[in-house]
Structure 1
């Protein structure tokens, strides 16, 4: 199963935000971490369908190790929680390798 790393930003008194370093513009939120995780899965699927419908490819996911080596992402991984969100099997074969 293919998974994408999501950054989960949880701050006191705010909605829990989720975004995907490998999927520009793919983000979601929820009032709780559980709700944000459910919404992140839906956001991932909708984002991928939109990419395919517009004739674009789904970028391959990077590993957590690769993301930690990316200076643009490393600080967010240090400051916030990371989660693995599964790509639905129906879309897995369409993700770029």
Structure 2
């Protein structure tokens, strides 16, 4: 099982936006924190099943640990004021 980090931020309209640092183009949202987490799980499962890298390979990105992400200045800036959640992904499902 892989564990991906999701970053959840509440926008000014009250929507909880979810992004994945290891899947830069993957975003989803929910009307509550719980809904955003559910959407993150469903979106990751859906996208990972059909994932294709720019070079044509289908290997999923290797998930970075929270420690690795904390050393990424871009992530640290984006995470300020957000909620960090671990999302499990099991390719065997």
Structure 1 gap ranges (5+): 92-97
Alignment match, 1:72: 74
| Residues 68 and 77, structure 1, Cα contact 8 Å, conserved in 2 | no
CA distance in 2, matches of 1:8, 1:68: 15
| Structure 2 portions without partners, runs of 5+ | none
- Displacement, 1:4? 0.4
| Alignment correspondent of 2:50 | 50
TM, length-normalised to structure 1? 0.82
Measure, in 1, the Cα distance between the counterparts of 2:49 and 2:41.
Answer: 13
Give the RMSD, CA atoms, in angstroms. Answer: 1.7
Q: Cα deviations across residues 33-78 of structure 1 (Å, max 9, x unaligned)? A: 11110010011011111215x6421001000010010111111223
Aligned residues: 90
Structure 1 segments (4+ residues) deviating >4 Å: none
In 2: Cα distance, 1:23 partner to 1:73 partner: 12
